[in-house]
Amino acid sequence: MTLIEFLAPLTKGTHESRVLAVLYYCEQYEDQASLTSDIIKKRLVGVRAPGASKVNVPDVLGKSGALADTNGLQGKSRLWKLTESGRKHVRELLGLPANNPELEHDVGTLSAAISKVTDVDVREYLGEALKSLSVGALRPCVVSVWVAAARTLQHEMMKKGTTAVAAAVQKHDQKAKAIKSVDDFAYTKESIQLLAARELGIIDKSEKDTLEEALDLRNRCGHPSKYRPGVKKVSAFMEDVISIVFT
């Protein structure tokens, strides 16, 4: 996850929230425990944060109270770092799970994906996935992300026209119900939908194969069983689905 993606949920936030988030990102993902105010400003400008060129970073940090502290100098420039209160504050701002870097990374990635989605239904499903992920509920997260991805692919297929969609679906399932609206996909197996998306050029073969693996995980999470996916499994699932469908 890049810094611009990490900061995306704070586009309408305060200068303080973004300055502290830069400190958090660099500490957690770039192994930089402290930064000068000049570096923080350059990072904000680099990701085109609102008002970045005019923000007075030393003033913002100086007024942040117990959220940030100094720990020495770099040349003549003061170094700033987050306190534990500051880390907690940033996690709360971004809805990040505490003390789980892998889940935290996925929350940021999912938040960035949501910021790019305009379809109301898809945003709602991804929002549900984000809430689930934030509390470590991995199975419902997988299910919600998959539903959002499936709906997105359905909309993309419908742009090809109902005649083309019906032909692509029935090529792989001759008994499938004719697709006249996006809601008609409810009567077609999702595995067939992926094949149809491949036929229509929405996804290529390797993407289709990857999404079939993702669908398998979704089925294991969505049906009653004792299966519990691990964090790494869910992270890989999310990386695949988001990179194929939402980027």
| pLDDT tens sequence across 143-186 | 999 999 999 999 999 999 999 999 999 999 998 888 999 999 99
Strand partners, 73: 78
Q: What is d(CA 138, CA 233) in angstroms, rounded to the nearest whole number? A: 10
Domain(s) of CATH 1.10.10.10: residues in the chain = 3-94
Contact indicator for 93, 10 with CB cutoff of 8 Å: yes
The residues, any chain, with a CB within 8 Å of residue 56's CB and separated by 6 or more, are none
pLDDT range class, residue 137, cuts 50, 70, 90: confident
The residues, any chain, with a CB within 8 Å of residue 229's CB and separated by 6 or more, are 138, 139, 142, 217, 220, 221, 237
* Res. 105: pLDDT tops 80: no
* Res. 226: pLDDT tops 90: no
Residue 217's pLDDT is 95
What amino acid occupies position 240?
D
For the ranges 33-42, 125-134, 228-237, the maximum mean pLDDT occurs at 33-42
Q: What is d(CA 88, CA 103) in angstroms, rounded to the nearest whole number? A: 15
Instruction: Report, as an integer, the average pLDDT of 33-41.
Output: 94
DSSP 226: S
pLDDT range class, residue 98, cuts 50, 70, 90: low
Q: Report domain 3-94's class.
A: mainly alpha
Residue 29's pLDDT is 76
pLDDT range class, residue 1, cuts 50, 70, 90: low
Residue 108's pLDDT is 76
In this structure, of 22-31, 158-167, 198-207, the range with the lowest mean pLDDT score is 22-31
164 or 231, which is more confident: 164
Domain(s) of CATH 1.20.120: residues in the chain = 101-245
Supply the mean pLDDT for the chain.
Answer: 90
pLDDT range class, residue 225, cuts 50, 70, 90: confident
Instruction: Report, as an integer, the average pLDDT of 207-217.
Output: 97
Instruction: Report, as an integer, the average pLDDT of 59-80.
Output: 93
Q: Report domain 101-245's class.
A: mainly alpha
With residue 5 as reference, give the H or E element that holds it. Answer: helix 3-7
Distance of CA 50 to the CA centre of its chain: 21
Which pair of structure tokens corresponds to residue 52? Answer: 């970045």
Say what percent of the chain tops pLDDT 70: 97
Q: What is d(CA 85, CA 162) in angstroms, rounded to the nearest whole number? A: 55
Residue 209's pLDDT is 97
CA atoms in the 13 A half-sphere facing the CB of 130? 20
